[in-house]
Amino acid sequence: MNEKDIVLSVKNLNTSFISDRKEIKIVKNVSLDLKRATTLAIVGESGCGKSVTVHSIVKLMPKNARVKADYILYNQKRGDKITEFDLSKLEPYGKEMRALRGPDIGMVFQDPMSSLNPVYKVGDQVAEGLLEHNPKMSKEEAKEQVLAMFRELGIPDPENRINDFPYQFSGGMKQRVVIALAMICNPEIIIADEPTTALDVTIQAQIMELMKSLQTEKNKSIILITHNMGLVAEMADEVCVMYMGRIVEFGTLEHIFNNPSHPYTKALLRSVPVLGMEEGRLLETIPGITPNPAELKEGCEFADRCPDCRDECRKGTIPAFEVEPGHKVRCLNFNSFKEVD
């Protein structure tokens, strides 16, 4: 693949937290590529390391975090010119990293209720990013851009609503404002961390349709963090399935839904309700519980919950194997296939 088609490339990302003088590994050797104008979904149960992965990439981590990577390459495109930045080498709150967050990488945080400051008008909060990254822009110019963004996002009566406070907005409208915060500087990459949390099904559909149309019309690249396989089916081009901080399966949407290969991926898909399924049939659950990351041993992290587990699954580090071109799985059931990074 031409490197111009890759907007973000991560190699061997590892993140751990220091707690009571003990280092707890949360993200383990994660490598991924985000292609331009596509959506990459990172899926898995709560606590599997999805949010920590993207927060590590954009360097928004607490002081007790330790983040290491071979590289985190962002390929900034301006016209025909591509400039490469290795985010792993930038200071989290240094001038270069701060200049990239907003104009190049926008983030839709997990909870719209807590993403907005309750004591500031929403219009001022959205304009703040514009004014920060465009020192020569007047407040009136920023206001006009905020109004245009509100109209684009379907927020009614934007001329009056920009003067409202967050508590005056419904959950769905708050989420639109949070998307406006991420989009206002026209970034190349949008990271959407569980963007439909706490929203009802109808509003979820509206929000995802909105993000999909923004991506199509503006050629944005999106990283979608979710545990909702329905959203993945609707939005994703490629899918990373994560379990306990490790990518256990990667492939296109068709690979994951038509030929799921890791036992965890299969279990996730079996737990999704399907239209027309037999009346009275119970959805399957994944047996066992998610292990404590501080107590993980060698071998496959899913071994204790896996129906296909063998003795060798509990030893060493499980490599990834290529099921088919572009489709990788970290499972010894496929050890007859070619081993890949």
Q: Which CATH number is 235's domain given?
A: 3.40.50.300
Share of the chain above pLDDT 90, in %: 65
Let me know if residue 300 belongs to a domain.
Answer: yes
Beta-carbon contacts of 282 under 8 Å, excluding residues fewer than 6 positions away, are: none
pLDDT over 70 (residue 278): no
Let me know if residue 123 belongs to a domain.
Answer: no
Let me know if residue 161 belongs to a domain.
Answer: no
User: What average pLDDT does this structure show over 72-88?
Assistant: 93
pLDDT over 70 (residue 200): yes
pLDDT over 70 (residue 275): no
Q: Where are the alpha helices (DSSP H) in the chain?
A: 50-57, 95-100, 112-115, 122-133, 139-152, 158-161, 171-183, 201-218, 229-235, 253-258, 263-270
pLDDT at residue 188 in the model: 94
| pTM of the predicted protein model | 0.92
pLDDT over 80 (residue 164): yes
Q: Count the helices and strands in the chain (H runs, E runs).
A: 11, 14
Let me know if residue 144 belongs to a domain.
Answer: no
User: What average pLDDT does this structure show over 300-323?
Assistant: 92
User: What average pLDDT does this structure show over 96-114?
Assistant: 89
| Structural domain for 80, as ranges | 3-104+187-340
Q: Distance between alpha carbon 148 and the CA centroid of its chain, in Å?
A: 26
Let me know if residue 154 belongs to a domain.
Answer: no
Mean pLDDT for the chain overall: 90
Let me know if residue 97 belongs to a domain.
Answer: yes
pLDDT over 90 (residue 218): no
333 by Cβ neighbours in 10 Å (0-12 / 13-18 / 19+) ranks as middle
Let me know if residue 210 belongs to a domain.
Answer: yes
pLDDT at residue 277 in the model: 63
Q: How large is the angle between the packed helices 171-183 and 139-152, nearest 10 degrees?
A: 130
Let me know if residue 159 belongs to a domain.
Answer: no
User: What average pLDDT does this structure show over 173-180?
Assistant: 91
Q: Distance between alpha carbon 27 and the CA centroid of its chain, in Å?
A: 14
Structural domains counted in the chain = 1
